[in-house]
Structure 1
């Protein structure tokens, strides 16, 4: 049977991870109206998840069972302007909630419900107006939108969604903490130059309205070169301000901070291989911090189920600020471990993490995966000891073009518990964590 174009795109999204489905609006869109110059699309995505953790990480005994969900709905418009390029825009509302006990880290209570705009932005693309820049070589946009730099190691989106479990609800963003229902930055101005091939870059101003991110304001620029073997990129970020009423000690460093990074990704001309690396350093008023990773993988395309094996080494210095890192490229980036990365820690700071991933595709619509993580704390001086290991087993199944089912089982074993410099309640035995997420895109 021949698959539709939408189904093929969903199979591609499943192969790379559910995160791409949630973040990529083109996969969610359905056409409302189209002619030679105008395209009006409706956007709809519903995601629901059921979660259970036998142990907690918020100081309370027992485990937690909870549910999360959100519905994203809105419209997108693309209008050609003849020889003057095209204008575009998107407006998406998100309704979200958490039910049950709240999550295992205690940042949600199960009573969160909110409906708010997430994306609301407009832009202009240059078309063929500047031939030296290529087709659509200038792209200018403003408003509430998702901005990602590189593969999200430093800035992925504004996806931290805390609930009422922190500071008497002061940081509540409406629940769906794990699913990260909202991703857009509140105010942005973004200029992209040069398209996606050869030399290209961007300049941007970003303002968050997320109290969990201390309402951070920053400016950034990127310069990249892309060719067949891969992409090399430079990033510069300058922190402008934070709201100190909500900032933790690391976030307070963002005002006046300068951050630099050098990154690369691609196959280096080796068929079926994939490599990625990034080195970043933060220059702050209390001194320099750094974080880096190096990753290599290979897809054994001639073997049954095309197994893909990846190894990654990541190091975050003691006072590295994780910034706006988030779920990107599927499980393990940059939420490193479903239990550790979401609930137990480490949370992309003060840690060395070794990661091995194996993925296979027994069918076009199905991906099976196993993820192993080893966590070592960089410094325990005045800090919790979060040494441990985790194994996650998951499946991603595109039942049809409007239904994706993703079960996952996590086994997390810390070296310490809450009585011995760790934070797992009820001993340092293995926590069994399970979840089932269902996504309904149109």
Structure 2
């Protein structure tokens, strides 16, 4: 059971990239108040189960999830274009049915909690040398994303009652991840949107599945039309001792450094990205990196695009708060692998090919292909291949439908070092997501 529990170190989750829309409630010359409302629902089926929690038997799982986000956004203009801003909203979430096939959830999770509760100030043109909004200070409970989410993409791990006797329960909606905000933050952003800019942050997580860590974080970036080059430093200054002993014995005091880049290098249609991260723990040094290249055929009907990415995560690498900062499949690599089966961006190499096409203005189609290979088979044996086919249909300005079908083929069953319970047959996975906002 202990080995199963340690897989949480690199657990992934999915992200539905549908923003909560805003409806104006009040507006005058200086002040705006908007209402925010977003509803997400999903129906899921997996023909196979996985041994992450130690509670799943061989067979299928059928479950449903729902998330409702609602609240208010406030903006108040001051002199020189400066602005006070803030947000207060709640999230209600639930899981029904069998719970997911990994046993992260049981199917009877329900909760309502505050999601965002923060205030901030932007400088406008008050400091010309810093650029427009060259100083931005904010405090409170809010979502934080660094780069494309390779290291930090919110605090979005939403486990339920099934794992570690419910000690990590966050109230349902594991896949839909309605909760992404860090519990407490202090953020200073300098430099605006172009040229040299940087961030200084203190983040405190209240997520028991992450051992409630505190993070000190700094970034330095250069942003231009050709792309962004960036450096990141992160240190885990504290953790919850009991949960850290159970899940993350090496996380406290860990330091991480990364260098990254993303852009088109001035070539229309080209996409290039990469990042290298060094991780220093008390008893080990780990690393992770990726390189990605893509091309969009702008002059072809449907503007098809193709991307290839190679990523490598060392044997004991701790991926922290990674997520889909850019698009579906960015760092949740494989709908089955990333959410249920593993390798969860640790002890693995992953090759990925993504194909996208927009046959109509309101319809996008995509294929995501993955090959997973384990580095150290004595830890686990998660060699596998996966293919996911999905569509995004914007029915109207309020409704979005996203069906997905996946095939996942592991090399080994749970009895032979893998995670699929009872066999190593190809798993047929399906989901339908529906989003509504006003």
Q: Same fold (TM over 0.5)?
A: yes
* Distance in 2 of aligned mates of 1:401 and 1:97: 25
Is 1:35 paired with 2:28?
yes
Counterpart for residue 339 of structure 1: 336
Counterpart for residue 45 of structure 2: 52
Range moving further from structure 2, 329-338 or 408-417? 329-338
Contact kept, 8 Å, 1:146 with 1:183, in 2: the verdict is: yes
Contact kept, 8 Å, 1:250 with 1:320, in 2: the verdict is: no
Counterpart for residue 387 of structure 1: 383
* Distance in 1 of aligned mates of 2:424 and 2:264: 40
Is 1:129 paired with 2:126?
yes
Counterpart for residue 196 of structure 1: 193
Counterpart for residue 151 of structure 2: 154
* Distance in 2 of aligned mates of 1:38 and 1:401: 26
Counterpart for residue 326 of structure 2: 329
Range moving further from structure 2, 59-68 or 199-208? 59-68
* Distance in 1 of aligned mates of 2:15 and 2:207: 24
Structure 1 position 248, deviation (Å) = 5.7
* Distance in 2 of aligned mates of 1:421 and 1:62: 18
* Distance in 1 of aligned mates of 2:24 and 2:217: 34
Structure 1 position 30, deviation (Å) = 1.5
Residues 282-301 of structure 1: matches in 2 within 5 Å?
Answer: 282-301=279-298
Counterpart for residue 185 of structure 1: 182
Equivalent of residue 216 in structure 1, options 213, 216, 226: 213
Residues 159-178 of structure 1: matches in 2 within 5 Å?
Answer: 159-178=156-175
* Distance in 2 of aligned mates of 1:228 and 1:133: 18
Structure 1 position 229, deviation (Å) = 0.7
Structure 1 position 73, deviation (Å) = 0.0
* Distance in 2 of aligned mates of 1:234 and 1:20: 26
Counterpart for residue 234 of structure 2: 237
* Distance in 1 of aligned mates of 2:325 and 2:215: 21
Counterpart for residue 222 of structure 2: 225
Equivalent of residue 436 in structure 2, options 428, 436, 440: 440
* Distance in 2 of aligned mates of 1:339 and 1:52: 11
Counterpart for residue 410 of structure 1: 406
Structure 1 position 329, deviation (Å) = 1.8
Change (3 A) 1:317 1:250: farther
Name the Cα RMSD after superposition. 1.3
Cα deviation, 1:352-409, whole Å, max 9, x if unaligned, reads 000000000000111000000000001112x110000000000000000110000000
* Distance in 2 of aligned mates of 1:156 and 1:167: 24
Change (3 A) 1:272 1:248: farther
* Distance in 2 of aligned mates of 1:114 and 1:47: 15
Structure 2 gaps of 5+ residues are: 1-13
* Distance in 2 of aligned mates of 1:104 and 1:18: 18
* Distance in 1 of aligned mates of 2:415 and 2:80: 68
TM-score of the superposed pair, with normalisation by structure 2: 0.94
Contact kept, 8 Å, 1:162 with 1:212, in 2: the verdict is: yes
Cα deviation, 1:314-348, whole Å, max 9, x if unaligned, reads 00000000100012222211100000000000111
Matched length = 421
Structure 1 gaps of 5+ residues are: 1-16
Change (3 A) 1:419 1:254: closer
Contact kept, 8 Å, 1:112 with 1:175, in 2: the verdict is: yes
Detail structure 1 runs of 4+ shifted over 4 Å in the superposition. none
* Distance in 1 of aligned mates of 2:248 and 2:328: 26
Q: Secondary structure at 1:339's aligned position in 2? A: helix
Range moving further from structure 2, 303-312 or 64-73? 303-312
Is 1:303 paired with 2:300?
yes
* Distance in 2 of aligned mates of 1:432 and 1:71: 28
* Distance in 1 of aligned mates of 2:80 and 2:147: 31
* Distance in 1 of aligned mates of 2:339 and 2:364: 22
* Distance in 2 of aligned mates of 1:101 and 1:214: 26
* Distance in 2 of aligned mates of 1:245 and 1:232: 38
* Distance in 1 of aligned mates of 2:382 and 2:207: 27
